[in-house]
Chains A and B, each alone.
Chain A
């Protein structure tokens, strides 16, 4: 039973205290006078929550929003008194305590522990207490205005919490669906991680690193292969050129084998040097011959000059001066000289002819040698400058010929094929590696898209989802069992009492409870073939039914025989107001409840009962 309340800085009150007695306490006053503030204060003290304000708007409960508000409530259960004190600060909950008054023992010192202790004392949960014991402003109005067909069922289910439980079940179902969809996408990612054997960030990074290294290796290999192929192409080109030169030379050798006698098996460089030496010798011979010819020419010219000097003879003189010493020469002397000269000139001529012949022969030899050298030089140059594998200048022509043949045959067909194959294989491997790498990068990206920084976070998320899913599955089962239990036992019992009440309101006996297909009880009257129909009731009857319903449920579920009703008469016509007040007073007289605090502005009606025992009127 509630005995006393003190409100400080609470809604309509700066500071106000009230005492309550057993029975019905009518809080009377006009709208805005503070009736609801008192009911809210009692609700707040008992449950830590005010019906009309949640945790976000609780500061609005404070009269001065800058100062804390405090509620002190004294009540007793089974003859033992208790005192609750709760403070609401402007921005947060303040202190709280629950004290047992007979021994001053503090039973709780936080808001939540006070609520828990009150729940234990009254054997009713705080939300149940708020839903059943406190019929807040609007509850009656809502019931009166609910569709009559389902109003009672809805009210019972709502008061019992089954409507809310159903909403909870829907939320569980939707959450399950939500998690399953999320799990599906996460498990896809997880199976990809498993397939790639990734469990940790290190695994992933390592895979990416190894892949990168392998990729670099393959790229280098590709580059090398490409280089080799390029070189091979060059070699082939050079080898073919060399082959061409060799073919030419072989033709030349074939045509004039004598000149190339021994060449084939000789070191080609040596042969060339020999040819060059020979050529040098021939060149020297030619030079000598040219010089000899020049000398002969000189002699010849000298003789011709002398001859010319001696020659112009005109028979007028017996002598002619010596062209050298100017001594007069006789004709005979002259003739003798001329004869000698002619002889010499002839000799010179003969020598010249001989020299010229020799020169021609040497020139021919030189020409031949030069041709040989010119044929050999390209071969020598190709070998010297192309660095063809297995071919060098110290080899003989026949060796070179064989080597070139082998080179062309091997490189072109085998090695090139091998390298090409290798390049192809490397490319395939690179492609595979890139695909492989792209999977890792893709996985990394997918992890990031899901908000994970590592595979471990994904695994942890999967476990956290599975944990919550396990909770949700368990909660779904518990909700089903709870619903079934309430339907079979509590709801049935409540509906049986409703059936009795229905007889009172309708004046017809024989109302019973039957369980419908879905397991919910329904009130029927088999004798008259009737079903409970709220349309049969007036507003006052509905209100009375609602109050009785709350009372029945409070009796059924808790030790509480206390009710708080805010403005139950507000929406009723005068006849129903009178009827309801009479009903409430009668209900108290019949000990349907032990204490009720009812806020109303119907002073004229209430005054009639003020002298009666158990009826208290507090003007607010």
Chain B
């Protein structure tokens, strides 16, 4: 969305805010919205590469609140403004169910971010799990409020937390100077030498001597390599043992 569209959206939200009863409250809200708009502009500029969008959420526009939608990757954050009469964040339980319903209806929304119309835009993020906990234990609301953080600090932290950056070591893209050889290749080379070594030993037992003298090199090597292939494909020792102990047909040696 272009900057013009964002401003148009903000103006719409601003017009909606005229329904505020209290003039002071309206002024605080207008101020807060302005601050959010300014902050949104800066934030989008700073995070162009990440394609983050902040826009007014028309669906949430109502009499008391004007809200924003922050779209990042495959998730979004929804900002809800709450009036703070004395500059101190306060929260009533009546909002909690409403926000919980909203999160349940929008699986892509990761957090509801509640922003109080204070000068610092103090804010608190709520996940679905946290809202469910507060509904069950409203007495924890006061404790939550102790964690309020200015919105401009909170948003980057939340967005950062939604993705981990695993830096790629430059070495990993460097192909090794000398290529390794897979175990099949090593084995295929070594089996020939091992057969020669075994076949050239001096045997006393007649059959062993004859086996060494008449050893069908190619056939046996092929059998062993074929069974090794099956081993490398994941056949069990028992299955492999069965193959190894299957002798060639009579008369084939």
Contact = CB atoms under 8 A, between A and B. Distances in A.
A355 B214 CA distance: 119
A557 B179 contact: yes
A219 B212 CA distance: 49
A162 B183 contact: yes
B93 interface: no
B7 interface: no
B247 A465 contact: yes
Interface stretch (A26-34, A170-178, A524-532): A170-178
B105 to A, nearest CB: 17
A185 interface: no
Contacts of A514: none
Interface in A462-489: 462-475, 477-479, 481-483, 485-486, 489
Given A465-B247, A468-B220, A474-B191, A541 B172 contact: no
Contacts of B47: none
Contact of A556 (B163, B179, B238): B179
Contact of B210 (A170, A466, A477, A551): A466
A178 B245 CA distance: 8
B231 A168 contact: yes
Interface in B133-167: 161-167
Contacts of B247: 461, 464-465, 468
A532 B164 CA distance: 20
A329 B163 CA distance: 199
A463 B251 CA distance: 11
Interface string B176-193: 100111111111001101
B208 interface: yes
Give the size range of B's interface with the partner: 35 or more
Nearest to A129: B182
A573 B228 CA distance: 39
B164 A575 contact: yes
A137 B224 CA distance: 30
A463 B245 contact: no
Interface stretch (A10-18, A93-101, A263-271, A587-595): A587-595
Given A576-B164, A592-B172, A557 B181 contact: yes
Nearest to B231: A168
Classify chain A: how many residues form its interface, as a range: 35 or more
A125 interface: yes
Interface stretch (A231-239, A320-328, A372-380, A493-501): A493-501
Interface string A445-474: 000000000000101111111111111111
A575 B211 contact: no
Given A464-B247, A501-B172, A578-B162, A161 B195 contact: no
Interface string A569-606: 00000111111001100110111100000000010110
Interface in B197-253: 197-199, 205, 207-208, 210-212, 214-216, 220-221, 223-224, 227-229, 231-238, 240-241, 243-245, 247-248, 250-251, 253
A359 to B, nearest CB: 104
B225 to A, nearest CB: 9
A123 B185 CA distance: 10
A165 interface: yes
A465 B210 CA distance: 11
Nearest to A124: B182
B73 A578 contact: yes
B210 to A, nearest CB: 5
A174 B183 contact: no
Nearest to A556: B180
B199 A470 contact: yes
9 contacts: A49-B233, A160-B182, A162-B183, A164-B232, A557-B180, A557-B182, A579-B166, A602-B74, A605-B73
Interface of A: 49, 123-125, 127-128, 130-131, 160-162, 164-165, 167-168, 170-172, 174-175, 178-179, 190, 457, 459-475, 477-479, 481-483, 485-486, 489-490, 493, 497, 500-501, 503-505, 538, 540-541, 544, 548, 551-552, 555-559, 574-579, 582-583, 586-587, 589-592, 602, 604-605, 608
Interface pairs A-B: 4 shortest CB-CB: A466-B211, A171-B240, A474-B194, A604-B74
